[in-house]
């Protein structure tokens, strides 16, 4: 049985491979920091607002996407925060 550290590396590698398969691209840290407006945020505001609109046509316009961005931005970046967003996804 491997250490937890080895298992995490394997999991990250598998996640990375899956992400590539579904069309995601790796974003260099410098670019991500610039798009986030610094290292304190976990969101890419422009990407999130554009994708919310693209994935919810006729339901989420620019204004609604920006409201959702601000609501999501206040949620803690944790498993509990993920659950909070998931439970309120239809709001």
Tokens of 49: 């607002």
Give the span between the Cα atoms of 91 and 31, in whole angstroms: 31
**Domain parsing of the chain, residue ranges:** 1-30, 42-91
- Which pLDDT tens digits describe the chain residue by residue (91 residues)? 444 444 445 566 666 677 778 788 888 889 988 998 877 788 899 999 999 999 999 999 999 999 999 988 888 888 998 888 888 765 4
Tokens of 18: 């899956």
């Amino acid at each position: 049985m491997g250490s937890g550290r080895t298992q995490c590396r394997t999991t990250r590698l598998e996640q990375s491979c899956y992400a590539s398969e579904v069309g995601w691209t790796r974003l260099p840290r410098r670019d991500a920091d610039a798009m986030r407006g610094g290292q304190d945020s976990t969101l890419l505001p422009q990407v999130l607002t554009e994708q919310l609109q693209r994935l919810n046509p006729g339901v989420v316009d620019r204004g609604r996407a920006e409201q959702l961005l601000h609501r999501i931005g206040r949620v803690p970046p944790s498993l509990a925060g993920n659950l909070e967003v998931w439970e309120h996804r239809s709001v």
